[in-house]
Amino acid sequence: MSELAINCEPLNRILEGKNISQQEALEIFHISENEPYELFQIAQILRKKHKGNTVSFSKKVFFNLINLCKDTCSYCTYKAEPEESKLSLMSRNDVRQLILLAKKYKCVEALFVTGERPEQKYEEARTWLKSNGFHSTSEYLVHISELALSEGLFPHTNAGNLTKEEMRELQKTNASMGLMLENVSERLSEKGMPHYLASSKKPKERLQVLKNAGELGLPMTTGILVGIGETPWEIIESIFAIKHLNDKFSNIQEVILQNFQPKPDTIMSDFHAAKEYYFKIVIALTRIIMPEMNIQIPPNLSPRSYQTFLSVGINDWGGISPLTPDYVNPEFSWPDISKVDECSKQAGFKLECRFPIYQEFFSFLNSELREKLAALENEQGFVKEEYWK
């Protein structure tokens, strides 16, 4: 490290293991807009120091349980209305059949995704839940999480702003859970902005859910959307908000950095996609702000260049399914896992399949979950090859 000549004082202090302020992060951002080399180099150094030359992914099956949603985001095509053909209402039998198919494909993670509290807005959701024997979406999630775990899949639930008690119940069967912070900017919830009609995306609500998860000792995946009209300062504030939560509770297992891609038939359909250069600066900044964090980008959202992001500090590809599409971004197919493996090797990295919980968080698990994971893990805490290849 000492041989690397760094012209920016905050970057030098990062190499010395010291923290930087939000204002210094903004200074680094502006310098890197013209000269990113030093930032990218330090991000690589920190990634190698804390994560080595391994890049991981989770082999998952995506359960699109119910895509009715009480919110409306300007960029979202996941949400369906009751009359739309893309409406998904997965019964217990539907879930059971997909679980069995996922086992044949050697999936490890069961990703359960729903719209935000659909029963609050839609009679169709209330009727569907009642017909399945449940009063709420969260009650249904508890049931199917138990079902998936009994069949050898490890649940990871992403169902929006769950209450603390709901998360406590799901924690019994879910190795981890997810909630995208997206951004801490209140401005992005104002009229005409992406989150104006999405009350659950208000930063205070999202931060409270993440705080509740911290108090429960529940490993959480969170992250931000990049390119939805935010300023560099708002990005930095959002990264630091996640850092502060993790400094207090130590339960943030992963930060997803998701680049915005415009979708047809949405309010933001004419909005430009996040520029790759800008996106890479954000990724490298996240690495230097949180040197030990697991940092992920979705490879399907940068299909032509995803392997190049290994050079700016990431260490994970997130969940990739050999069986189901990315229902949140259906325009972008998952890359074939063998192709990801080959691209990772060409970039000098070994691809490993992980559980939906990272090995450094295994101690957060209850005894039943820990025992089930132990049966499949190798000496490094990844999934043994015979269980996923």
pLDDT at residue 1 greater than cutoff 60:
no
Phi then psi for residue 252, to 5 deg, are -80, 110
Residue-range domains of the chain with CATH: 19-387 (3.20.20.70)
Residue 6 pLDDT grade (very low, low, confident, very high; cuts 50, 70, 90): low
Residues whose CB falls within 8 Å of the CB of residue 15, separated by 6 or more in sequence, listed in order = 1, 4, 6, 42, 45
Instruction: Give the pLDDT score at 171.
Output: 98
Instruction: Give the pLDDT score at 11.
Output: 85
pTM metric for this prediction: 0.96
- How far is residue 294 from each of residues 47, 123, 324, measured CA to CA in Å? 9, 40, 24
pLDDT at residue 3 greater than cutoff 90:
no
pLDDT one-digit tens code per residue, 288-315: 999 999 999 999 999 999 999 999 999 9
pLDDT at residue 4 greater than cutoff 60:
no
Among 10-19, 74-83, 368-377, where is mean pLDDT lowest? 10-19
pLDDT one-digit tens code per residue, 58-108: 999 999 999 999 999 999 999 999 999 999 999 999 999 999 999 999 999
pLDDT one-digit tens code per residue, 22-63: 999 999 999 999 999 999 999 999 999 999 999 999 999 999
Residue 2 pLDDT grade (very low, low, confident, very high; cuts 50, 70, 90): very low
What's the CA gap between 304 and 384, in Å, rounded? 29
**Cβ contact 114:137 at 8 Å:** yes
What's the CA gap between 91 and 88, in Å, rounded? 10
Q: What's the average model confidence in pLDDT over 328-348?
A: 96
pLDDT one-digit tens code per residue, 180-221: 999 999 999 999 999 988 889 999 999 999 999 999 999 999
Residue 5 pLDDT grade (very low, low, confident, very high; cuts 50, 70, 90): low
Q: What's the average model confidence in pLDDT over 277-293?
A: 97
Give the count of beta carbons closer than 10 Å to the beta carbon of residue 30. Answer: 10
